[in-house]
Amino acid sequence: MRGANNDSQRYWNEVAGAGWARQAEVVDRLFADPTQRALDTIDWSQVRSVVDLACGCGGLALAAAQRTSSPIWGMDFSEPMLECARQRARAAGLKQLEFRVAELQTAGFDHESDLVLSRFGLSFFEDPPLAFRNLGTALRRGGVLAFLTWTPVEENPLFSLFAQVMDRYMDKPPQLGSGPGPFGLADLEQTRALLEGAGFDTPEVERYAFDLIYPSPAVAWSTQSDLSGRLGAFVAAQSPEIRGEITQIVKTALNPYADASGQVAIPAATWWIKAQRS
Ligand SMILES: C[S@@+](CC[C@H](N)C(=O)[O-])C[C@H]1O[C@@H](n2cnc3c(N)ncnc32)[C@H](O)[C@@H]1O
């Protein structure tokens, strides 16, 4: 069915969701710098209700709950990630958070919020114009949609580094670049046009450069292959020889980013895009 994002839904439920749930705390540490910078730009005194779209394990919703006591709804279509988000909110004693399952390209929203946020969650839609028109209905007029989304792949070497492994060993490696995926909104001109076409004012855009920091090359590799789901399962299914070869390729690629203690810092960049609903 068009508009249902069925493959993506399967991927985030059955392939990647468990890894994201296992790595939820690690992911929040990796993304802490742009998350806090982004949340610093919001005037929280005006915010009465918040939605975290494609919230996954709820890291952004949990961070927003440090800024406001207003209700925050997290929405996503990955059950394992939502369950992780619920557990984390319970563990933190945060009753203002509620997590709901929804396919966001077509979901209806119960009410119109002041602020709709997302962290790396809005670039996966099959039909972005349909999705962004729909997301606008989660906001009151004058409300703000604000989201972090990766800048082009050339500025985010982590992704190309792991793509090298996939290209070399997998029959059908996932493609980076344009289209649904992490870089689906990287082209600013297209994203501006998308927002304006969906009923938003001209967006404000900031670019945040930061480092993705891992304690060692081995942890960088294990974290990222767990998050990628497909890559993790693929590597686990290989012979010890191929696994050894892959580990060596990854180590060589990560070495330039490691310091004397072995800590790895990979440069990354994200857009922080804020658009008011017209
Ligand atoms: C890269 S993860 C980011 C998760 C979370 N926002 C974070 O920062 O940790 C992308 C998320 O988008 C969700 N997602 C992608 N397409 C979606 C859709 N059409 N409807 C609902 N959720 C979607 C996935 O399930 C996943 O949780």
Residue 2 has pLDDT above 70, yes or no: no
Query: Is the overall model pTM greater than 0.85, yes or no?
Result: yes
Ligand 1 proximity of 134 Cβ (cutoff 6 Å): no
List, for residues 216-239, the tens digit of each pLDDT value: 999 999 999 899 888 888 888 999
**Res. 1 pLDDT band, cuts 50 70 90:** very low
pLDDT for 232: 85
Q: What is the mean pLDDT of residues 243-252?
A: 89
Alpha helical stretches, state H, the chain: 6-10, 17-22, 24-30, 32-40, 59-64, 79-91, 128-136, 157-169, 188-197, 217-228, 230-236, 240-254
DSSP, res 277: B
d(CA 55, ligand 1 centre) in Å: 6
Residue 172 has pLDDT above 80, yes or no: no
pLDDT for 16: 92
Residue owning tokens 């399962």? 233
d(CA 217, ligand 1 centre) in Å: 26
d(CA 239, ligand 1 centre) in Å: 32
Tokens for 89, please give them. Answer: 């909110």
Ligand 1 proximity of 159 Cβ (cutoff 6 Å): no
d(CA 247, ligand 1 centre) in Å: 28
Beta bridge partners of 135: none
> What is the sign, positive or negative, of the torsion defined by CA atoms of 221, 152, 38, 71?
negative
Residue owning tokens 């290209």? 167
pLDDT for 162: 81
Q: What is the mean pLDDT of residues 170-185?
A: 81
List, for residues 130-155, the tens digit of each pLDDT value: 999 999 999 999 999 999 999 999 99
**% of the chain surpassing 90 pLDDT:** 79
Beta bridge partners of 268: 210
Higher pLDDT, 116 or 252: 116
Domains and CATH numbers, the chain: 6-156+175-213+268-276 (3.40.50.150)
Ligand 1 proximity of 120 Cβ (cutoff 6 Å): yes
